[in-house]
Structure formats: C-alpha cells, structure tokens
Amino acid sequence: METNSRDQIWASTMAGRVHDGYVFAKDGDPLKVSLRTPASRAEREELEFERLSAGATFAIGSGRRRVEEEPDPVRTCFERDRDRILHRSTAFRRLAGKTQVFVFPDDHMRTRLTHALEVTQVARAIAEQLRLNVALTEAIALGHDCGHGPFGHASEDAFSEFLEEGFDHAVWGESVVLAPLNLCQETRDGIRNHSWSRPSPSTAEGLVVSWADRIAYVCHDFEDARSAGIVEYQMLPEEVVDVVGMRRSTQLDRFITDLVNTTVSSGHIAMSKDCGEALSRFRDFNYRYIYARPASKDQVTAVRPLLGALVEFYADRPNALPTRTSIDTEELEPIVAGSPASYRRSVEFVAGMTDRFAIRMATSHLGWHSDRLPLGIDTAAR
C-alpha cells in the first residue's frame, strides 16, 4: 500500500534539517541567538535579588527538603519542584479524571486538572506583578489539589470515617501523595495550607495561591454551571455584577487587578473591601445555586457509600493493593487485614482513583448496581 503524502511529509521531518554540521528544526535561515554561556542556576539566583520584591521567597536560603539533595546545576530549587510535579507526579495527571464540580463533565467543563492549570495562571499573573517568586508560585498552584479523591469534596467526608485524623485533601496531598517527590519545605507548606480553612501559608507565594484558587474556582464554576443550564448571568447578585461584571474574563481581570493594587498600597496580600465582599458574595451564590442544589446533594449521597465500600473492600484484602513504587521499611512489613494500617493504605489507593476507575472497581469488585452510581451532568436531575 502506498504511503500517503501526509505520512511522507511527516516522516521526512524525523531527522530535522542538517546544515553546516548542525541539526535544525526547520528549513530557512537559522535564527541567531547571542549568548556567551547558558544561564546557570547560581546566576539566576543572584538575579532574584535584583528582580524580586522584599517580601518574596528567594531560592538562596530556601530549598530545605526532607531528604537532602545536591542542587541542580541549572534549575533553582523551586523550578525543580514545579518540574517534578509536572513530569513525575501521576497524581497530577490523574486530576484529568477527577471531578471539579460536575461528575463526568462534558468536553468543555473543568476537571480537577484544568482547575489546577487555571489557578496556576491566575497565581502567576499576580506573582509576576508583585515581583514574587514565580517558580514557587507555580509549584504550589500545580500541586495544590493533588490530594483530592474522586468525585470532588464529597470524598473527604467518605475517607474521614477511616482515618483518626480525618481526611483533608490539602494535608493529604502534601504529606502522602506528593511526599515521594521530596519537595522543598516552602512548596509543601503552600500546598498544605492553600485552603482557607487551614493556617496561613508561611510565604507570600503561598498566600497568592490561596487567593488564586478562590478567584479561579468561583469564576469558572459559575461559567460551567451556566453552560449546563443551571444558572444564568441575570441571577448573579448586583453586589457582584456592579464590582466585577458578568463575564469570566472581566471578573478575573478585576479580581486580579484589585488584589495586586491593594497589596501594593497596603503592604499585605489582600483585596479591597468592595472586591473582597464581591468575591465572598459570588462564592455564597455558587454554594446556594450550584454546590448545594438538590442534584449535587444526590451526587454526594451516591458517592459516599461507594467510596466507603471500596475502602472496606481493600482494607479487608490488603494483598490486593498495589505495591508502592518506592519501598520503605513500612512496606516490608505485612499488612494485617482490617488493621489501621490496612485502612490507611486502602484510603491511599482509593483516594488516588479517577472517577471512572472508582466506578469500574465498584461495579466489577462489589457488584455495585447502576442505579446507585453518581450521574453525569447530562443525566442528573437539575
């Protein structure tokens, strides 16, 4: 069979373009880049003292890890953290299959992964204007929700029944899910304390992510609910519309601009009274009409027993749990069925599941009937 022209063109690019002993990506005159030497980590760390504000977190003097490591020759400690979350964390990639607000969202709605990316963009926009450490901000924002279980916040109540300390996605993400990455203390602190119900983060960058998280989800959850036909622009309270408008682009711009300007004028990571109240009112509106609507409560009712049953199933069969990729002394000890250790490992496994995988395990291992499963946005009663 003849190779079509598209395949031939694609195959012809495999080796790049060789010219004067160099390999180029494209034909034509090569672009010139004048550099004496590549920028080293040490040089870029020194530049932070020129570029960053006095309240920023500097790479020099930071980077404390649970297990000491040699510094990277090129990347700062926080760039290294950001890259580890992006490239090495399977939990980060699995966020693509986890609920943000709507179970089994349509193709245009947010998942927990797209939420994390939007938080990162909002946080970066703020951090750049405030001359904070962008790499640390990105690392915290990318990792902030890696501790979430399937089906959103409903899983926290389900898992809390099996752990003496309860289950908080922020704490779990830092202390369990991302622990193998050996992240810096500043990154771990920001992830652990990004939720407003937690203590304040110890860095300005962590505080920025806390604000960015709330700004992002309030705006995009409303947009998703509107596309699902649950709410309309006209339903937004006047206190919100008068301050930040109806459209997400305008809302993001005004929330970000206000946070930046208020921080500059006050010397604290803060919003003005008007904008802060608009954000609070917006969040309250979302709770009333989106998160706490009857169909959403029905989903919680369906999710909690399903996840609880999965935890019980694996806690009673610890040999069915997958082996950790990093072996520690605890892993060498046999886990007794029904013990606290077996429940903890079971929660760890089930919390890492995507929505669809959890449902697949419930139907295949537990015989979970379809009428007890959570429904997608297209089938759930609104």
182 occurs within a structural domain: yes
Q: Which two tokens stand for residue 360?
A: 């697949």
pLDDT attached to residue 224: 96
CATH number of domain containing 162: 1.10.3210.10
Domain range enclosing 248: 41-294
Residue of 122, 138, 381, 100 lying closest to 223 (CA atoms): 100
CA dist 187 and 64 (Å) reads 10
CB 41 within 8 Å of CB 73: yes
CA dist 41 and 77 (Å) reads 9
10 occurs within a structural domain: no
Write down the pTM of the prediction.
0.94
pLDDT attached to residue 327: 46
pLDDT (tens place) for every residue of the chain, 382 residues total: 455 788 888 888 888 888 888 899 888 767 888 878 888 999 999 999 999 999 999 999 999 999 999 999 999 999 999 999 999 999 999 999 999 998 888 888 999 999 999 999 999 999 999 999 999 999 999 999 999 999 999 999 999 999 999 999 999 999 999 999 999 999 999 999 999 999 999 999 999 999 999 999 999 999 999 999 999 999 999 999 999 999 999 999 999 999 999 999 999 999 999 999 999 999 999 999 999 999 888 888 899 999 999 999 999 999 999 886 554 545 557 899 999 999 999 999 999 999 999 999 999 999 999 889 887 754 443 3
β partners of residue 19:
22
Q: Which residues contact 19 (CB under 8 A, 6 or more apart)?
A: 30
pLDDT attached to residue 139: 98
34 occurs within a structural domain: no
CA dist 364 and 276 (Å) reads 47
132 occurs within a structural domain: yes
CA dist 343 and 315 (Å) reads 5
250 occurs within a structural domain: yes
361 occurs within a structural domain: no
Q: What's the number of domains the chain is made of? A: 1
Whole-number Cα distances in Å, 125 to 25, 67, 259, 285: 31, 32, 11, 26
CB 132 within 8 Å of CB 208: yes
Q: Which two tokens stand for residue 36?
A: 């004496």
133 occurs within a structural domain: yes
308 occurs within a structural domain: no
pLDDT attached to residue 96: 97
CA dist 167 and 311 (Å) reads 13
